[in-house]
Amino acid sequence: MHHHSGTNPRRRTRVISCQLCRERKLRCNRQFPCTNCTARGVACQAPPARGREAPGTPPAEPQVSNDQLLRRLESLEALLAARTRQAELVSSEPTSSEDPGQRQLPSNVQNWLSDALLLERLCMGPKAGDFAHSNPIVVRTCPVRLISRPWSFVFQNEAFSSPAVHPEPIRCVWLPERQETKRLVDKYISDISFIHHVIHGPSVRRLVDQVYDTINQGNPAPMGPIALFLAIFANATCLWTAQDLSRNLFCGVSEARSQASLWQKAGIDVLDHIQQNPHVSLESTQALIILCYSVINLEGVSVKYRALFSRAITMARELGLHCIDSPRQVLGNRAGFTTLEAEVGRRIWWYLCTTDWILAGLSGTLGGAYTIHPSQMAVHKPQNVDDEDCVDGEEIVGRAMDQPTSMSYFLERIRFAEIFRASLERAQFAALSPDTISFQLVQELETQISRFWDDAPGFLCFNPDLSIMNMNASKITIQGYILNLFVHGQRCRVHLPYLARGQAGLAYATSRAACVESARLIIRMEMRLEEEEHDFASTRLRMSIVLHHIFLAFLVLLLDICLDTNGPRQISKSPEAAVAWRILQDAKAQSQQASTLVEPLGRVMRKHDVLHNAEELENWALADLGAHGSASALAPSLELNPPTSWGSVRESSRMPQGGDHTGTSQEISTSDWPNFLGGLYLPFI
């Protein structure tokens, strides 16, 4: 009896649940403070003793418990702040509505949930019966100069069981021979890829050998890489130059360029074929983007271009590229990208984003609307790194932005497109009628463009006193040329509605000065390119981005001439306008788009009695411009500070051409300047 009574107190010394857990019937871990009380931010109290206090119960130490509670709260706050910063870097991941309990689901329950959500996704997706079983495409090779059609039809050399069964013709796509394909790929990677760098050069070169090995073994060729090669061929042949004849593929430049539309059509046909079945791949998405560039160089921003671009966005979403960096795994998307594939996926997605936002800012019925919203994606920006420094299986470490790489222009294009998209939110549907954009928004955009150049790396900004083409870094300087061309062209577009209004009052004079200034800078870059006779200069007019921005610059200078009431309206009043007109005339021999652009310009000039000596302009050589002074002396009123780059030139307090443009034109007034542009469609990109 005595022994039994002696053991009772010892049994009562066991730790029991705290007061809160006992009242709410929660499972307590019986450590003070317990996890339930800590999570709720309340003091953890032991239950009231029954009768006398058990001798084994430790005395309460409220001060120690409070200190522990404070430390736990501080650690939770730090963790929450870190999670918040991470969410801001990727996308708008929900932070408050998520149930913390979902992260602690048992593995078997999580698997059940994943399967259920995957099945729900599948029930809304395409069914196997929705796809027609199309005839296969065979791939064969022959010398590139013998390829004259996008495809042909062949018969399979198979033995049929019955002589009554006749073999059906099968579509055949012809590829150049292996070494010829390598030369075309090298041309694309060396001279073109940086404009839309959505590939990894070393991987594409390895892919050539893999595909040709498959073909030589008699196995079916993978259609995604085939479409990618065809897209690369279309761009390489379109921009073939006399210097490329050393690659020993074509006898002349015209022979190479004549194949551009052939390869483009073949690439589109292959993509149409493989998308009859549920096919998505990185290579097919890259092919769509690169074909878009081929189409825009041959046709402009056409319906075909927009259709291909929309298909590229759709395929990228099917691949899950829009959430490739989501901290939560999206159930049902195609995961399993390697480190290198994920980086290429970021390049693809961000190129689609920026192009989508830029297209939305163009004039026309489709302006003002974009399809990719930043809050609906979770994708880090690509790293500033050369392809040779990207090795699969290793961490990709980007360089500082002030170090030039093959991604420099690409990343600056992203920065500028983000400014573009923000302005679209403010302007709403102003792209449908550019003259309705508010002057306040124009001033804000001018400030943002100025800040853009402040943050841009110096090697992308041209110094007018230095040679544009440093042969040791020609690729980087071409990136700078394209960036300056693009940004100054968009600056012209922003200020164009207020160019004519600048003659009516000083309020808009700065806008007019900025518009004319950027137009002159564009033409001066073209003059410098031609003076230095770089390889790039011989083919640049076949690039849509170059041709359209020269056209825009000439349009601005032409309108500025028409607004001047001092003397007759002559193109020769502006040396830059004369050079621009001569360049556009020369471009007609290289690009069908140039003829499409120059013809309506001629009609507008005749309508408004703009005089020009055609013979004089056709023979206007850059050597003759030397009589007017250096490039920087063509417009004395627009002085450039020698240490600064063209990209850093911003506001000018003096009006172009001496600032004497305050008179009112009798035919082109502030109110009817849109009539001056009547009939002109400006598909700028």
pLDDT for position 65: 60
82: helix, strand or coil: helix
Task: Find the DSSP H helices in 375-508.
Answer: 408-427, 439-455, 474-495
Distance CA 561, CA 572 (A): 10
- Of residues 521 and 120, the one with the higher pLDDT is 521
- Look-up of token digits 């055949």: 172
Checking if the pLDDT of 635 tops 80, the result is no
pLDDT for position 321: 94
pTM, to two decimals = 0.74
Determine the residue type at 149. Answer: R
Which of 75-89, 402-416, 448-462 has the highest mean predicted lDDT (pLDDT)? Answer: 402-416
Distance CA 155, CA 158 (A): 9
Distance CA 338, CA 102 (A): 28
**Is the Cβ–Cβ distance between 367 and 431 less than 8 Å?**
yes
**Is the Cβ–Cβ distance between 493 and 553 less than 8 Å?**
no
CA distances from 90 to 294, 316, 346 (A): 32, 18, 12
Altogether, the residues listed in the chain come to a count of 685
Distance CA 95, CA 475 (A): 44
Other Cβ atoms within 10 Å of 599 Cβ, number: 10
Q: What is the mean pLDDT of the chain?
A: 77
pLDDT for position 379: 94
pLDDT for position 636: 28
Checking if the pLDDT of 207 tops 60, the result is yes
CA distances from 257 to 263, 542, 590 (A): 10, 10, 10
Largest CA distance in the chain: 129
Give the model confidence (pLDDT) of 279-302 as tens digits: 899 999 999 999 999 999 988 888
pLDDT bracket for residue 601 (50, 70, 90): confident
pLDDT for position 625: 40
Q: What average pLDDT score do residues 411-431 get?
A: 82
Q: What average pLDDT score do residues 499-508 get?
A: 75
The angle, 0 to 180 degrees and rounded to 10, between the axes of the packed helices 575-587 and 509-532 is 60
pLDDT for position 606: 82
Q: Which domains does the chain have, with CATH numbers?
A: 1-47 (4.10.240), 135-158+166-319 (no CATH), 433-676 (no CATH)
Q: What average pLDDT score do residues 216-231 get?
A: 95
- Of residues 77 and 226, the one with the higher pLDDT is 226
Distance CA 250, CA 145 (A): 7
pLDDT cut 90: percent of the chain above it: 39
**Is the Cβ–Cβ distance between 242 and 253 less than 8 Å?**
yes
Of the candidate ranges 10-14, 107-111, 311-315, 349-353, the one whose mean pLDDT is the lowest: 10-14
- Of residues 377 and 469, the one with the higher pLDDT is 377
Of 516, 530, 540, the C-alpha closest to 579 is: 530
Other Cβ atoms within 10 Å of 595 Cβ, number: 13
Checking if the pLDDT of 641 tops 50, the result is no
Of 276, 175, 301, the C-alpha closest to 232 is: 175
pLDDT for position 651: 36
Task: Find the DSSP H helices in 125-280.
Answer: 178-191, 201-216, 223-238, 253-257, 260-274
pLDDT bracket for residue 232 (50, 70, 90): very high
Q: What average pLDDT score do residues 404-433 get?
A: 83
pLDDT bracket for residue 438 (50, 70, 90): confident
388: helix, strand or coil: helix
Give the model confidence (pLDDT) of 327-342 as tens digits: 765 444 445 789 999 9
Distance CA 478, CA 506 (A): 37
Of the candidate ranges 87-101, 492-506, 537-551, the one whose mean pLDDT is the lowest: 87-101
**Is the Cβ–Cβ distance between 273 and 247 less than 8 Å?**
no
**Is the Cβ–Cβ distance between 50 and 44 less than 8 Å?**
no
Q: What average pLDDT score do residues 232-238 get?
A: 96
**Is the Cβ–Cβ distance between 684 and 616 less than 8 Å?**
no
Strands of 152-155's sheet in order across: 138-141, 169-175, 152-155
Other Cβ atoms within 10 Å of 168 Cβ, number: 9
pLDDT for position 144: 94
